[in-house]
Amino acid sequence: MDFSLGEDRQMLVDTLGRFLAGNFDWKTRETVIETAEGWSRPVWAQLAKLGVIGALFDEASGGFGGSAFDIGVVFAEVGKALAVGPFLGTLLAGRALAATGETALLEQAIAGEVILSAALDSDAAQGVADGEGWALTGTQPVVPFAASADRIVVAARTGEGPSLFLIEKGAPGIEIRDYPLIDGGAAGELMLDGAAATLLGQAGEASAIIEEAVAAGLVALCWEAVAIMDSLKVQTLEYLRTRKQFGIAIGKFQALQHRMATLALEIEQARSSAINAADRFAKGRLEREKAVSAAKFTIGRVGSLAAEEAIQMHGGIGMTWELPLSHYAKRLVMIGHQLGDEDMHLERFIALGQDALATAS
Amino acid sequence: MDFSLGEDRQMLVDTLGRFLAGNFDWKTRETVIETAEGWSRPVWAQLAKLGVIGALFDEASGGFGGSAFDIGVVFAEVGKALAVGPFLGTLLAGRALAATGETALLEQAIAGEVILSAALDSDAAQGVADGEGWALTGTQPVVPFAASADRIVVAARTGEGPSLFLIEKGAPGIEIRDYPLIDGGAAGELMLDGAAATLLGQAGEASAIIEEAVAAGLVALCWEAVAIMDSLKVQTLEYLRTRKQFGIAIGKFQALQHRMATLALEIEQARSSAINAADRFAKGRLEREKAVSAAKFTIGRVGSLAAEEAIQMHGGIGMTWELPLSHYAKRLVMIGHQLGDEDMHLERFIALGQDALATAS
Amino acid sequence: MDLSFTQEDEAFRAEVRAFLQDKLPARLSDKVRKGQRLTKADMEEWHAILNARGWLANHWPVEWGGTGWSVMQRFIFETEVALAHAPRIVPFGLSMLAPVLIKYGSEAQKKHWLPRILDGTDWWCQGYSEPGAGSDLAALKTSAVREGDHYVVNGQKTWTTLGQYADMIFCLVRTDNQGKKQEGISFLLIDMKTPGIEVRPIKLLDGDYEVNEVFFTDVRVPVANLVGEENKGWTYAKYLLTYERTNIAGVGASMAAFERLKQVAATQRRNGRPLAQDPQFAARLARLEIDLENMKTTNLRVLAAAGAGHAPTAESSMLKIRGTEIRQQISDLMRRAAGVHAQPFVTEALEEGFNGPAVGPDFAAPAASHYFNYRKLSIFGGSNEVQREIISKAILEL
Amino acid sequence: MDLSFTQEDEAFRAEVRAFLQDKLPARLSDKVRKGQRLTKADMEEWHAILNARGWLANHWPVEWGGTGWSVMQRFIFETEVALAHAPRIVPFGLSMLAPVLIKYGSEAQKKHWLPRILDGTDWWCQGYSEPGAGSDLAALKTSAVREGDHYVVNGQKTWTTLGQYADMIFCLVRTDNQGKKQEGISFLLIDMKTPGIEVRPIKLLDGDYEVNEVFFTDVRVPVANLVGEENKGWTYAKYLLTYERTNIAGVGASMAAFERLKQVAATQRRNGRPLAQDPQFAARLARLEIDLENMKTTNLRVLAAAGAGHAPTAESSMLKIRGTEIRQQISDLMRRAAGVHAQPFVTEALEEGFNGPAVGPDFAAPAASHYFNYRKLSIFGGSNEVQREIISKAILEL
């Protein structure tokens, strides 16, 4: 059993951490999130050059990593720096492209030349064959950095069942209502009205591919969340040690000490859940899905607790835009809303358990 | 709006409280719960003489009270003294007898001459007509003081639907496996094998009567529980003020203070829920049932908290048989198991809300 | 035991409802219902309508413009107003300063300031907290030094809600550095237009501006603006902090918000069924409904005791804690109900008359903002930790 | 990152399983699985079986009879033993006294006592807590006064688990009243047959006898029974309290109990469906399963760090808190699953070979008793409040 990252992965972490600390500091972030696109293309280009995007994919797909732990450590650094950018969309779309053999496009994305996004709710759009291609109709909600994406992988239902498609920026029949997000960055409603699309893989065969891509996304979000919790904990402890009321540091108040002890304990549990999700990712479907749902449930539950406690213990100052803490708290709570929330994943965990029983008997 | 008990009811409370303090003190309780029957017939006879049993029923049924608040205050005193005796069985059976016009028997029970119990799970037994009478078959679980009861009101399913019956002690086809309870008192499995029974009211018409009797039982249990919580709170506060560790009273530790503040707040919420249940008891069925389920849910939730916190704050001593506190805690937790637990009543509250919506639309 | 309202109370409720039906502008209730931002003019409009009806200062003594209502009537009024989605009345002049003036102010101060509060001439704000004096309010440092007929004020206040609109601020200032920190505090009324005052907005995490820092540099305040005696301000401040806390639970506001949540749960779908039928969401909703019903009765019990002459003290702390917890939980469920549409930050949708394309269901636009904004409820007005201290000391005697 | 066990570890696990299959008497595992009470003879029987295999003192140094296992092997062993429903090994001699003797005892003491622990000659119990010294252990008052070759001991110990069976007790006693309370404590080994010792059982709330008060009146203890130096006992006590806490989470025991709970949930019915399909119960069960999986990994992380030379300190406190919470929650769900059959108190059913008519489902008989008994888990062994203090100081540096 080995809980160390290993040399290569540790190097990736160090490189990425140093880069973000130097090139995506708090001031940069504040500027970037106020821009129209809500992210920084130069920073992204440099990340691509550093191999960070490639770390999300395996060598067969043109990347240099691609294991769940690789994904985890990259997103942990993203969380630590509260970096904004098309990380999640690239991961989700890229996994789908890799699974359907579209490595040429993926390689361009890994090189930073093409920006990807993904809209993977197959109930939100329908696809019909249209000559040699396909036409998609429907609305995909909150597609990450939709307006910035050159290509978007879109799930849609066809006569054959859930299918995956690729659409291209500016193609007719595509409208994007874009907006900033409360936790930084941007997204958009992707409104499709007979939009021209290319089929990825086989029609009707997308369910397993989508599930695997989403599982990778869940691992990513969980590791990002744990890094944010760590940051909230460190910031709050620092505040508790220095802020004085009634003549002493408020960290000396036992009621707060015990709450912080509980929070620290819960964060370790959340970390374990994220490690479990990454570890089970390469196992069979049921084990993988139970672990990612367990992790998403855990980081949802602990995430709200951490965000709320961190703000509460800071008092008023914890509610200000000026303090980075409040942005960490917002991002953490909003991670809870991505790819299924705490409740949904608890229900899913229960259902998967019942599936397992049914299979066993 | 008036939250005072009113003069008559206050007199009942004072009389009952004084009587139990004088005639059912802790030593008496310790002796009584070790007896074979698990309760005290002389004490019961005196309670009957004092009009305590009559207070549970209205004048039309031979009683002197019978409102939900009357029931509530009697059971609050029972809870305060942790009294054991056939209170609940008498209430449940008596309400069913009153609703089916069997006032003669009820009057004997009010006078303390006949001991009643009730087994109201109509799915646990079947009844078939047998000449002029009926024959019951099935097993009713955990019937309060079953072995001591002269008559037991039994619910059973007949061809017509849920029905109520009366069975008599010692009749053929009745077997009782009796046992003490972990929270004091006794009960028994009532095993019926073609037991001779008299029909109460109309066959197939018992559902509403059972529901109303159980609602009265729920009001009783909720008020009993709140009184126990009050007692646990008082005992724990006293301990926190006097027990010293590290040179000071442990009640000076802020972490415990904040937990006690939370507990005190929750107990006030539980009290409000019990008041609500009593207040809505005389209203329409839906309002009554939502309120009793809300109250049973609340006292279940707060009850475990109160029991667990009281023991935890006492430390080891809180786990000893010798300290009355542990018995209060056991009774409180076990109330959660009577007439449906916290989870079941939450589910029921949700279902009743959906019924209400369906009716409204 | 009788939890029904009296016939008189029900008649009063009907009168309040009729008034709201008649006089509450739909434009305003619509904005409140949608969670849109209220302008200064919006708040002034409703203030004036209530004043015209004579119901604005309903908790004041009748001689100064009060209504003589019972505590129960006031509860009914507050509840109905909230259920009708009326704007909240800004409390600083009406409910915080006025009671202090009425009890401790000079006759001249009352005659001058109270009518101006009623007619809206002065918009008041509060100068209590300082960067180093939050929960430990008595540690405040803003100084007022007597120079002839004036106090010269230097220092900084913070968390001053809606200070950007204010004409006047009531301040706790330090007039003496000797002795215990609670001594040496005075209560001053300061014109916001006095030279040396600077108001700087504090942007909150939801992007909204509602609180401010207020800086004082050699601000000259007439001695006539001292309330009560010099160095006795802590007494007045404490009075203000315990006064009129029977409505602290915000039952009406929570009931209104919960009704909206219930509608959302009945219509918003997840996994192919309404949220009201999703096992986890239904359980959250039911627990909240039960907590709210329980709190409502707890509130009524405190009111009934207050009506019978028992002034609520630490009971208010219980109501404050549970009331804010429930309000926060409602906003928490609203954001959960919004699902993926909690993330979009379409601030234009929070402004009146927004006509752009909606992003997700209409309740979703302010859901996350409200959730984050309502974190303040357990921090401001005496943090819930401070309330637990009060319960522990005053009720539990620990 | 690799969470799989090594091939060697898996081979070891197979070896442990084969041994358990072969040597663990079904009579014992059956009693443990049913939650029945173990007799002294039951515990001695399993102790002897493990000793015969050489696996009893697996955490001791090899020279004294240890196995040389890695922390991971020890974890696997503890887990497998628990999953097989083996009786718990009484830890007082084996895991509490022995490490102290090995580190601080004299050669003569080691040679005399350690083999007797292994072969079961001495049943040890612990004399730490006193009525006035619980969480504040150093406040202990039991005195030992030197008189020639003996200490004369007077005082009282309490919460002495299974003291009714004990041949020997190791005690913290006060040998000096000067200075800080942590100074002046000594560590004594006392024969329970010495005149002046009286053991009084404490009946617990579930009716069971497992703890005792032990009274000392002029009990004469040979000076040779002092461990280490006089007045240095606090050092040894602290060592004992932090030693071998890698298994403090009780993962194996919780896994075994959870498996049983899952079976119960799959079969026990409520409202016409198995509890596993009841929305509220299913959610409780799922949350618990997830918490347990998370804790298991947290435990493995601490073990891996320990294997790499980082001695766990305050991390053990986290494991102790969450471990006991989970164990308590499992017993809580068991009692909930029992429904109305939690109330019957059929103590005969807790004894081996009970053949009376069952009352309710078989898991129900001990359900409430266990739930109440397991309240101790968050109290004993350093209460969970004390653990939070340790985390706050040692990890969080508050």
Q: Which residue has the higher pLDDT, C303 or C165?
A: C165
Q: What are the structure tokens assigned to D41, written together?
A: 């003879």
Q: Which of residues 194-253 of A touch B (CB under 8 A)?
A: 253
Is residue B46 domain-shared with residue B89, that is, in the same domain? yes
Place of tokens 């509890």: D275
Return d(Cα B161, Cα B203) in angstroms, integer.
7
Q: Check residue C312 and give its pLDDT.
A: 67
Query: What is the Cα–Cα distance from B271 to B223, expressed in whole angstroms?
Result: 8
Q: Give the helix/strand (H/E) hosting B360.
A: helix B342-360
Average pLDDT over residues A224-244: 97
Q: Assess whether pLDDT exceeds 90 at residue D307.
A: no
**Chain D touching partners, 3 or more CB pairs below 8 A:** A, B, C
Chain segment C134-146, per-residue pLDDT in tens: 888 999 999 999 9
Quick one: CA dihedral C81, C82, C87, C88, positive or negative?
Answer: positive
Residue C393: pLDDT above 60?
Answer: yes
Band (pLDDT 50/70/90 cuts) for residue B360 is low
Residues B172-201 have a mean pLDDT of: 97
pLDDT of residue C315: 83
- Provide the domain limits for residue A189: 116-204
**Mean pLDDT for the stretch of residues D257-281:** 95
User: Is B142 inside a domain boundary?
Assistant: yes
Predicted confidence (pLDDT) per residue in A115-132, tens digit: 999 999 999 999 999 998
pLDDT of residue C376: 96
CATH number for the domain including A97?
Answer: 1.10.540.10
Residue B1's pLDDT is 83
Q: How many helices and strands, by DSSP H and E, does chain A display?
A: 11, 9
Q: Which residue has the tokens 């009850």?
A: B303
Asked if A354 lies within 8 A of D277 by C-beta distance, the reply is yes
- A329/C205 touch (CB, cutoff 8 Å), yes or no: yes
Mutate to test the interface with B, among A248, A258, A259, A260 (most CBs of B within 10 A): A258
Confidence category of residue C271, pLDDT binned at 50, 70, 90: confident
Please give the tally of structural domains in chain B: 3
Residue B352 domain-assigned (yes or no) = yes
Whether residue A189 is found in the same domain as residue A277:
no
Burial of D370 (0-12, 13-18, 19+ CB in 10 A): buried
Residue D171 near residue D157, CB atoms below 8 Å: yes
C-beta separation of D124 from D92 below 8 A: yes
Same domain, B89 and B142: no
Let me know whether B215 and B339 are in one domain. Answer: yes
Q: Is residue D75's pLDDT more than 60?
A: yes
Of B59, B84, B110, the last residue of a domain is: B110
- D273 touches C: beta carbon within 8 Å: no
Tens digit of pLDDT for each residue in C114-158?
Answer: 999 999 999 999 999 999 998 889 999 999 999 999 999 999 999
Cα four-point dihedral sign A191, A194, A195, A198? positive
DSSP letter for each residue of B316-337: GGGGBTTSHHHHHHHHHHHHTT
- Comparison of pLDDT for B168 and D249, the residue scoring more: B168
Q: Give me chain C's average pLDDT, please.
A: 94
Residues B239, B187: one domain? no
| A174 burial via Cβ count (<10 Å: 0-12, 13-18, 19+) | buried
Cα(B90)–Cα(B92) distance, integer angstroms: 6
For B346, nearest residue in chain D (alpha carbons): D280
- Do β-strands B133-144 and B186-200 pair in parallel, antiparallel, or remain unpaired? antiparallel
Mean pLDDT in chain B? 96
Which burial class, exposed, middle or buried, applies to C149 when counting CB atoms under 10 A from its CB (0-12, 13-18, 19+)? exposed
Q: Are residues A95 and A122 in the same domain?
A: no
Q: Is the C-alpha dihedral spanning C203, C205, C210, C214 positive or negative?
A: negative
Last residue of a domain, one of B110, B127, B142: B110
Q: What is the DSSP string of A303-339?
A: HHHHHHHHHHHHGGGGGBTTSHHHHHHHHHHHHTTTT
In the 8-state DSSP scheme, what is residue D292? H
One-letter amino acid of A127:
G
Q: Give me the sign of the Cα torsion angle D82, D86, D88, D90.
A: negative
pLDDT higher than 60, residue D244: no
pLDDT bracket for residue C244 (50, 70, 90): low
Q: Answer whether residue A2 is part of any domain.
A: no
Mean pLDDT of A188-192: 97
Distances (CA, A) of A49 to A55, A94, A111, C354: 11, 17, 7, 43
The values of phi and psi at residue B293, to 5°, are -70, -40
* Domain identity same for A96 and A142: no
If you average pLDDT over residues A260-267, what whole number do you get? 98
How far does D334 lie from chain A, in Å, by closest CA? 18
Distance CA C316, CA C326 (A): 15
Whether the model clears a pTM of 0.95, i.e. scores above it, the answer is: yes
Give C240's pLDDT tier (boundaries 50, 70, 90).
Answer: confident
Give the model's confidence band at A360: pLDDT under 50 very low, under 70 low, under 90 confident, else very high.
Answer: low
B331 in any annotated domain = yes
Inform me whether the pLDDT recorded for D344 exceeds 60: yes
pLDDT of A22 > 80? The answer is yes
Identify the sign of the CA torsion B37, B42, B47, B53.
Answer: positive
With 90 as the cut, is the pLDDT of residue C85 above it?
A: yes
Q: Domain of A186: which CATH number?
A: 2.40.110.10
Q: Using alpha carbons only, give the angle A332, A335, A339 rounded to the nearest 5 degrees.
A: 170
pLDDT in tens, C163-185: 999 999 999 999 999 989 999 99
| Of B110, B141, B167, the domain-final residue | B110
The pLDDT confidence band at residue C241, using thresholds 50, 70 and 90, is confident
Query: Computed from CA positions of residues B201, B205, B208, B214, in that sequence, does the dihedral angle turn out positive or negative?
Result: positive
Average pLDDT on D322-334 reads 98
A77: pLDDT strictly greater than 80: yes
Least confident of C258-272, C366-380, D232-246: D232-246
* Tens digits of residue pLDDT in D15-57: 999 999 999 999 999 999 988 999 999 999 999 999 999 999 9
CA B140 vs CA B24, B119, B144, B178, B342: distances in Å: 30, 6, 11, 12, 21
Helices A207-242/A254-280 angle, 10° precision: 160
Q: Assess if residue A241 is contained within a domain.
A: yes
Q: Which runs of consecutive H residues, i.e. helices, occur in chain D?
A: 7-23, 26-34, 40-53, 71-83, 91, 98-104, 107-119, 233-242, 251-267, 279-307, 314-338, 367-373, 384-390
Angle at D320 (CA atoms; ends D318, D325), nearest 5 degrees: 100
**What pLDDT sits at residue C358?**
77
Radius of gyration of chain C (CA): 22
C residues 60..119 contacting A (CB < 8 A)? none
Is B186 inside a domain boundary?
yes
CATH number, domain containing residue B289: 1.20.140.10
In percent, how much of chain B has pLDDT > 70? 99
**Residue A224 shares a structural domain with residue A324:** yes
Report CA dihedral (D91, D95, D101, D103) to the nearest 10 degrees.
-160
Q: Which of D214, C267, C159 is nearest to A316 (CA)?
A: C159
Taking the C-alpha atoms of residue C157 and residue C190, their distance in angstroms, rounded to an integer, is 13
Question: A-D interface: how many C-beta pairs under 8 angstroms?
Answer: 116
Catalytic-residue membership of C244? yes
Q: Is residue A1 in some structural domain?
A: no
Determine the angle formed by the axes of helices A87-99 and A68-81, rounding to 10 degrees.
160
Candidate from A228-232, B36-40, B105-109, D357-361 with smallest mean pLDDT: D357-361
Q: Which of A2, A241, A264 lies closest to D1 in CB terms?
A: A2
In a domain, B278, yes or no: yes
Nearest by CB: B187 against D279, D284, D344 = D344
Residues from chain C that touch B262, judged by Cβ atoms under 8 A, are 388
- Cβ contacts of C205 within 8 Å, gap of 6 or more: A319, A320, A321, A326, A327, A329, A330, C372, C373, C375
B268 against C381, higher pLDDT: B268
Cβ pair D204, D210 in contact under 8 A: yes
For chain A, give the percent of residues with pLDDT over 70. 99
Find out whether A171 and A126 touch, Cβ atoms under 8 Å: no
SS3 of B176, please?
A: strand
Give SS3 for B39. Answer: coil
pLDDT tens digits, B234-249: 999 999 999 999 999 9
Q: pLDDT (tens digit, 9 = 90+) per residue, B95-131? A: 999 999 999 999 999 999 999 999 999 999 999 999 9
Distance, in Å, from the CA atom of B315 to the CA atom of C223, rounded to the nearest integer, reads 59
Q: Do A337 and C159 touch (CB under 8 A)?
A: no
Over residues D336-341, the mean pLDDT reads 97
Chains contacting B (3 or more CB pairs within 8 Å) = A, C, D
Q: Please give the residue of chain A at the shortest CA–CA distance from B261.
A: A255
Check whether residue B302 and residue B214 sit in a common domain: yes
Q: Which residues contact C107 (CB under 8 A, 6 or more apart)?
A: none
Q: Are residues B59 and B148 in the same domain?
A: no
**Section D288-292 average pLDDT:** 98
- Residue B310 contacts residue B274 (beta carbons within 8 Å): no
B31 pLDDT more than 60: yes
* Nearest one of B117, B327, B300 to B225, comparing CA atoms: B300
Cα B230 to Cα B271: distance, rounded to the nearest angstrom: 10
Condensed to tens digits (0 to 9), the pLDDT of residues D160-209 reads 999 999 999 999 999 999 989 999 999 999 999 999 999 999 999 999 89
Residues B16 and B41 in one domain: yes
Residues of B in contact with C259 (CB under 8 A): none
C244, C325, C352, C389: which one is catalytic?
C244
**Which candidate in A253, A254, A256 is best for mutational testing of the B interface (most B CBs within 10 A)?**
A254
- Supply the ipTM of this predicted assembly: 0.96
B143 and B69 within one domain = no
